[in-house]
Amino acid sequence: MPRIELAAEVSDYFDRFFDHQAMHGVEDTPERIAEIIEAIQILAHSPLIGHKAKGGKRELVIGQESRGYVALYRYVSDIDAVFFLAIRAQRESGYKRSR
């Protein structure tokens, strides 16, 4: 079973996520976070489930519509590891990069 590693930049996404949720008075934040965590854990059993993306990366679609997210990751079979690189809302274009 592959191990899952989170890139440091992923915490930047969650900071933006919490700020956005608070600004808009969204009350189901814990449920949304649970959906994301559950989807990431699926990668431990099925690391190739995501759509192929550029540069040997993959994208995992989580949820749908306004509650949807896309997680960018890379699976390295030689060391049996999934590197979770970024996450964005489905409605966002591209991934935000940390400075």
Per-residue pLDDT tens digits for 42-81: 999 999 999 999 999 999 999 876 678 899 999 999 999 9
In a domain, 99, yes or no: no
CA distance 96 to 85: 11
In a domain, 98, yes or no: no
- State the CATH number of the domain containing residue 17: 3.30.2310.20
Answer whether residue 21 is part of any domain.
yes
- Domain hosting 53: range is 3-89
- State the total domains in the chain: 1
Residue 93, pLDDT score: 60
Determine, yes or no, domain membership for 96: no
Instruction: Specify if 59 maps to a domain.
Output: yes
pTM score, whole prediction? 0.81
